[in-house]
Structure 1
Amino acid sequence: MDASIDLSQYPLEAIARRVGTPFYLYDGAMLRERMTEVARTAGGEGPRGRLHARYAMKANSLRYVLDIAREAGLWIDAVSGNEVQRARRAGFAGGHEPPVIMYTADVFRDDALRTVIEEDVLPNVGSPGMIRDLHDGGYAGPIALRVNPGFGHGHVQACDTGGPSSKHGIWHEEIGGAHEAAKKAGYPVVALHAHVGTGPQIGEFNDNMRRLVGVIDALLQEFPEARSVNLGGGIPHAYRLDAQRYDMAGFRTLMLEAATTLSESAGRQISLEIEPGRYPVAGSGILVGRVTDIK
């Protein structure tokens, strides 16, 4: 929860008596404010391309949070079969026109392949083997390809989801082979996706977003059926009171410029997506515990 919030306004002791401790406490008004801010930042039509936002539900998949995301008009990025099912039960539509739910992964685990097919959601393929799995499983429909652009960022290495240290996505120099495999399987590639990490400094984030647009721009010519580009999430969140808050209005300008660049280069309208997860929820919740002893 935002460090500036006065916790005395919440009946913590009464809640603890009712539900026990520890428990999570969420500020619904702040959740709605942040979800709406994301939707506003990535909403509407640009000069050449449309903007849209997904919620990366791995950040928090509670039904209450999903309901607020849906009410704000956000779509979903899911990373497991269970997340797909939770999103569907929360009222997010299946289907590809539009692809409200996108399943992003590097492998199909557990029931994920069956769920993607049965729930009719867009698979975002992070490794060539997934194309074979889709074909063997009887999937018939479009796909997205996740690109590893060769660079990334993060406050720790585990949050760096681009570059040679990351398992995520298909290496940018090998994306042509994955495209050929998709063609042979009969899968049109309707979207390109990349996510380079979470937790960078503001300047680093903006620089890498612009750099990522350049990488995707160079690839887009080879994908004539692609109609959208997803630049991932990772929007910086100010955890401390003295930390600079990210300029979302400036980010919208960056996105509009990127949509124009990609659309003009491709010679067709390209929709641009982002998929923040941490940013809309990080400041809206707190873990409440009880002190049982002092030593």
Structure 2
Amino acid sequence: LMRAQGVKVDSVSLGEIERALAAGYDPQTCPDDIVFTADVIDAATLARVSELHIPVNAGSVDMLTQLGQVSPGHRVWLRVNPGFGHGHSQKTNTGGENSKHGIWHSDLPAALAVMQKYRLKLVGIHMHIGSGVDYGHLEQVCGAMVRQVLECGQDVEAISAGGGLSIPYREGEEPVDTRHYYGLWNAAREQIARHLGHAVKLEIEPGRYLVAQSGVLVTQVRSVKQMGSRHFVLVDAGFNDLMRPAMYGSYHRISALAADGRALENGPWVETVVAGPLCESGDVFTQQEGGMVETRALPAVIPGDYLVLHDTGAYGASMSSNYNSRPLLPEVLFDNGQARLIRRRQTIEELLALEML
């Protein structure tokens, strides 16, 4: 579906490269269909990007050296850390001195020296500094991009704004003003183009923006109980299925469906803690960053009813795991009103298949 819409792939692992190839992306006929972005590169991935001539977005000088030794003349981007960042959580802040990501801005001359040594071809400068949109902060990022390009003294074909386009997870939040967002980056692109004397492409990684609102997690209520003053609803999905609340304290809207079709909205509403089945106190879907448990006003439900966690299309299934030896969930795609299974439920046999006695 994405390939049909003209979306390209920013891969961060060998597995993601192979998934893109399986989906029909072809770097041989479309050299920019797949880009590999990382701060480190292992031997197997290095061999594959060299074989397929996949452009590499390098986040460390050592990575450039390793690539140059194996594939001189390779097309590369430089991911620059401008010294500041932004994110909806400290764990999603990908800029500044506490972030592992990118080549530190003052190390750019060292990166360019390695590129010259191995005749690596500079495609562009990439600057992804975190998730979420703050327009004042975005202006700062755009200014940093212009300075980096002008100060590096190199020609570039393109600049990349990275990712981070957010969606309104909470009721009442405003959606991103994409015209304003584009306008700020386009102004930076035009300034760079004037300096270089030729057109410059602008790239962006809007993965969350494209898919987050397309997904929901449907989970069944298995137990309802009172823990002192707290009303708990326990469901059969855990943070192995949806990690974001436990990892970041992320908010996902929750709605309820009655198994017998009764109208829940007309009944009592209860301040509720929603938690899963895992043997972890942190297996709670209603928590803030740092693990502070909070409640959500929900209709009174009983075992057998269902809860729906909304906006799980991004960083939902892709972050799921086999923690507590729990199989991966199935995924169902609804396309033009038709449902089809796109990932079947993992079996216990598959869960154990790699283990040896």
Partner of 2:216: 286
Match of 2:327 in 1: none
1:107–1:126 CA contact under 8 A, matched in 2: yes
Q: CA deviation at 1:181?
A: 0.7
8 A Cα contact 1:102 1:123, kept in partner: yes
Deviates most, 161-170 or 115-124:
115-124
1:95 Cα deviation from its structure 2 partner: 4.6
Q: How many residues align?
A: 224
Which residue number corresponds to residue 275 of structure 1?
A: 205
In structure 2, the residue matched to 1:167 is 100
Aligned-partner residue type, residue 234 of structure 1: G
Q: Alpha-carbon deviation of 1:196?
A: 0.7
Q: Give the Cα separation in 2 of the matches to 1:111 and 1:246.
A: 39
Q: Which amino acid letter does the alignment assign opposite residue 259 of structure 1?
A: R
User: What SS does structure 2 have at the residue aligned with 1:293?
Assistant: strand
Q: Does 1:266 align with 2:199?
A: no
C-alpha distance after superposition, 1:124-175 (max 9, x if no partner): 1100111121133345422111100111101211100001110100001111
Cα deviation for residue 110 of structure 1 reads 6.0
Q: Structure 1 residue 258: deviation in Å?
A: 2.3
Partner of 1:25: none
CA distance in 2, matches of 1:98, 1:224: 22
SS of corresponding position for 1:291:
strand
- 2:21 counterpart of 1:91: no
- Partner secondary structure for residue 124 of structure 1: strand
User: 1 or 2 for the larger relative contact order (CA 8 Å, sep ≥6)?
Assistant: 1
Instruction: With the length of structure 1 as denominator, give the TM-score of the two structures.
Output: 0.71
Structure 1 residues 122, 175: closer, same or farther in 2, change over 3 A? same
Distance 2:220 2:42 in 1: 38
Distance in 2, matches of 1:268 and 1:97, equals: 22
1:144 aligns with 2:77: yes
Q: Confirm or deny: 8 A CA contact 1:76 1:87 kept in the other structure.
A: yes
Q: CA RMSD, aligned part only?
A: 1.8
Give the counterpart letter for 1:242 in structure 2: G
Counterpart pick for 2:149 among 200, 217, 220: 220
TM-score (norm 2): 0.59
Unaligned runs of 5+ in 2: 226-357
> Match of 1:121?
54
Q: Tell me which protein shows more strand as a share of its residues.
A: 2
Structure 1 pair 251–189 and aligned structure 2 pair: CA distance change class (3 A): same
- Is the contact between residue 68 and residue 74 of structure 2 (CA under 8 Å) also seen in structure 1? no
Which of 103, 109, 113 lines up with 1:180 in the alignment?
113
CA 1:217 to 1:209, structure 2 compared with 1: closer, same or farther past 3 Å?
A: same
**CA apart distance, 1:259:** 1.9
Q: Could you give the per-residue CA deviations for residues 161-193 of structure 1, whole angstroms, max 9, x where no partner exists?
A: 001110100001111110111110110211111
More helix by share: 1
Aligned partner of 2:166 in structure 1 is 236
Deviates more, 1:210-219 or 1:231-240: 210-219
Question: What's the offset of the Cα at 1:118?
Answer: 2.1
SS in 1 for 2:94: coil
Q: Which amino acid aligns with 1:77?
A: D
Are 2:10 and 1:77 aligned? yes
Deviations 1:229-281 (A, max 9, x none): 00111012101221111111222322332221121122221111111221111
Unmatched segments (≥5 aa) in structure 1: 1-67
SS of residue matched to 1:115 = helix
Q: State the shift of 1:97 in Å.
A: 6.1
Is the contact between residue 122 and residue 144 of structure 1 (CA under 8 Å) also seen in structure 2? Answer: yes
CA distance in 2, matches of 1:226, 1:128: 18
Regions of 4+ moved over 3 Å: 95-98
Q: Residue type of the partner of 1:265? A: H
CA distance in 2, matches of 1:138, 1:224: 21
* Alignment CA distance shift 1:90-1:97 (3 Å): closer
**Structure 1 residue 96 displacement after superposition:** 9.0
- Residue identity over aligned pairs, in percent, reads 35
2:270 counterpart residue number = none
Preserved contact between residue 188 and residue 225 of structure 1 (Cα < 8 Å): no
